[in-house]
Amino acid sequence: MDNSQRETVIKRLRSIAGHVNGIERMVSEDAYCIDVIKQVQAVQAALNKVNDLILVNHLNTCVIEAVRGDNKKERERVLDEIVEVFEMAQKI
C-alpha cells in the first residue's frame, strides 16, 4: 500500500473510531434506539468501505504480482486467501 492509500485508510479508521465513541456516548445517555442503530449502520458501511479500499489495493499489488510470478504455490495461496475472505463475508 502506498503512502497516499495508507493515509486514506488511516483517516477513515480514525473517523470510524470517533463515530464508535459517539455511539458509546449515545448508549450511555440512553439515546433513542433507532438513532443508535442508524449510527451503527453508518459505522458498518464505513468499515465496508475500508475493506473495499484494502481489498482493491491487495488485488492490484500482491495478487497481481503472485499471478504474474512463476511460483505456482504462491498463486494458489493468494487465490485461496481471496476465496477465504469472500467465504467469511458470507458468514457474517
Cα gap 67→76, rounded to integer Å: 9
Q: pTM, whole model, 2 decimals?
A: 0.85
The architecture CATH gives domain 3-91: Up-down Bundle (1.20)
What lies within 8 Å, CB to CB, of 79 at 6+ separation is 63, 67
Tell me the per-residue pLDDT of 63-74, one tens digit each, with 9 for 90 and over.
Answer: 999 999 999 999
In the chain, pLDDT over 70 holds for what percent of residues? Answer: 100
The pair phi, psi for residue 26, each rounded to 5°, is -60, -45
Kindly list the domain boundaries of the chain, sorted by start residue.
3-91
pLDDT at 89 over 90: no
